[in-house]
Amino acid sequence: MGLLETIKGPQDLKSLPAEELPALAEEVRAFLVDAVSRTGGHLGPNLGVVELTIALHRVFDSPRDRLVLDTGHQSYVHKLLTGRQDFSRLREAGGLAGYPSRAESEHDVVENSHASTSLSWADGLAKAFELRGESQGEHGRRVVAVIGDGALTGGMAWEALNNIADAQRPVIVVVNDNERSYAPTTGGMASHLATLRTTREYEKLLDWGKQSLKRGGTPGRLAHATLHGVKKGLKDIVAPQGLFEDLGLKYVGPVDGHDTEAVEHALRRARSFGGPVIVHVITQKGRGYQPALADDADRFHAVGVIDPETGEAQATSGSSWTSVFADEVLAIADERPDVVGVTAAMRAPVGLEPFARAHPERVFDVGIAEQHAVTSAAGMAAGGLHPVVAVYATFLNRAFDQLLLDVGLHRAGVTLVLDRAGVTGPDGPSHHGVWDLGLCRLVPGLRLAAPRDAATLRAELREAVDVDDAPTVLRFSKGKVPAAIPAIARTGHADVLEGPAWAQGDDVLLVAVGALVTRALDVAARLRAHGVGVTVVDPRWVVPVDEALVDLARSHRHVAVLEDGGEVGGVGWALAAGLRERDDATPVHGFALPQRFLDVGARDALLDEAGLAPQDVARALVEAVARTGQPERPGPSAAVPPR
């Protein structure tokens, strides 16, 4: 039995002799490489926090002391040390979540997995412990927030630090400094931490100079000159820790994050202070796994199934939505010098890397700061540029106020590209991009497109960047792009995909949004097999609802809408509202996602569970057509709101 197998919880870890901890760390890393290479997941971040997580659980008493992991993608080691060592179904339905999960363990506190929130959580927990009389004294409950240098680029973290420092409650903030978020950390905070990192080297040199001076002689004269230079440099080089100390935060570090004894010592000092403390820990992302330490190490931040020996990804076929966008936005940028790219710490994952390589001065990575990204883009638009802001759909939630009032109110020509829209699968409830349709519909003047294939993505992106007096949005899903789906006709902005008699009306108008077009075509085939006439339409631009689409809906006996966003504020909801405004009682059957947090699971399986399986949709529509009879159009009492 290895050491890791003996660890069923933090108490087992505390009783382990210190000399055995390096061997335990080695076992943990070997376990992670083996397990994550089979399932996919966040490999690099977890390899970097092994010793740090061991030290945290040896010094603090989780769950009595609360450990809050910012973002949570580095929680695999924490899971292993708190009794969760079955990683066989990591990030699958019924298996371990890829982020902290309160349903899994009492040791997990925060599970939203969006960055820069941990310090606010810690502040709130500390306030609660204080008011309940649980935080006083040496043995009082402590709150520890582990936040990366990348997450410190988010403004919310500094709002929290401002409050933590002022209150003087016992909050320990561990800055896990590995110089990266998904990619290298950018901005002034990154430069500040880089300066603090060098302090250790200056202090070593200073100590050498002092010892040499004692010895005298020529080496002493050399040491004297060196000491003079070091002292002069130290005056400036140590000063940046004042950024924390001037706020009222004690500062400990920097500490070697791979020296468990040193980290434990620093954490015990921090615990004893009884007030807010910054513990600056320097770690190496991907530690102990050579492929993750190469020049392209950022691809090991999150991996799919890989060869554990080489780190090579399992071969896949077909183009991704992201790669098609990457090619087209670069082509547009080559043609138009006014087009610029903006992202929030995810330049490569959202497809802006080729653009950045070709035009480095025109792509701006603002760090984990979506609010700043969107308002800065509004400023660029006001200055004569056309920004393309590319983020994951789930992260648009964080910048809604800026989209509404800074972009929308000012009618700024900004294009937002939402990658991983709809159901994303293994990352769970916080990462499904299911809220953007409802949110974007609230912004006056905004137009939103949902491409169905590569050709429509390219066309709609070009249409979007041609709009200079209002915000435009392009949303597409995670995964591979389907084969080309040609249109047979166009009405307004909408493409008619099937239904040769569409102009004269039919039993069912089937409206399919973006990536769900392939499912709609399957539904249409099933309907025709039951003798139901059907017209399939891709609206292309789904916000606002095209008047031509409303007219087309009125010429059919039933309307069905398939979409991978929430039902409230979705396309079905809006189309039904458009028909009501015309006093038209054509029933609209909405097949959308329920207004709840969807769990971890495969994309197709989650869509099926939500009622979007082609056979279920077809059955519901066949029954609806049968109920209304032939050939009369339904009256007002037959109107059905979206589900």
Binding site members for Mg(2+): 149, 178
Task: For residue 51, give both structure tokens.
Answer: 């010793």
User: How far, in Å, CA of 583 to CA of 166, rounded?
Assistant: 59
Crossing angle between the packed helical segments 50-59 and 260-273, to the nearest 10 degrees? 40
Contacts with 403 (C-beta within 8 Å, 6 or more apart), sequence order: 374, 396, 416, 439, 440, 443, 446, 471
End-to-end CA gap in the chain: 54
Beta bridge partners of 79: none
**Rounded-to-integer distance, Cα 290 and Cα 29, Å:** 12
Pairwise CA distance, residues 223 & 453, whole Å: 68
Alpha helices in 530-613 (DSSP H): 547-554, 571-581, 603-607
Distance CA 627, CA 618 (A): 14
**For 191, which DSSP code?**
H
Q: Is the dihedral of CA 51, 56, 61, 66 positive or negative?
A: negative
SS (H, E, C) 479-514: CECCCCCCCCEEECCEEEEECCCHHHCCCEEEEECH
Pairing of the two strands 171-177 and 143-148:
parallel
Residues forming the active site: 285, 370, 398
Beta strands at 541-543 and 447-449: parallel, antiparallel or unpaired: antiparallel
Place of tokens 């994951």: 392
In the chain, % helix, strand, coil (3-state, to 5) comes to 45, 15, 40
| 3-state SS, one letter per residue, for 72-139 | CCCCHHHHHHCCCCCCCCCCCCCCCCCCCCCCCCCCCCCCCCCCCCHHHHHHHHHHHHHHCCCCCCCC
Q: Treating both helix axes as pointing N-terminal to C-terminal, what angle do 188-215 and 217-237 enclose, rounded to 10 degrees?
A: 160
Helix (H, G, I), strand (E, B) or coil at 604: helix
Tokens of 182: 């998904």
Burial grade of 164 (CB within 10 A; 0-12, 13-18, 19 or more): buried
Contact 612/620 with Cβ under 8 angstroms?
A: no
Candidates 361, 357, 409, 350; CA nearest to 385 is: 361
Please enumerate, by residue number, every residue annotated as part of a binding site. 73, 113-115, 149-151, 178, 289, 370
Three-state SS annotation for 381-409: HHCCCEEEEEEEHHHHHHHHHHHHHHHHC
Instruction: Give the CB-side neighbour count of residue 27, counting CA atoms within 13 A.
Output: 16
Per the CB < 8 A criterion, the answer to whether 585 and 635 are in contact is yes
- With beta carbons less than 8 A apart as the criterion, state whether 303 and 41 touch: yes
Residue type, 600: V
The beta-carbon contacts of 209-218 under 8 Å, at least 24 apart in sequence, are: none
- Residue pair 367/343 in contact (Cβ under 8 Å)? The answer is no
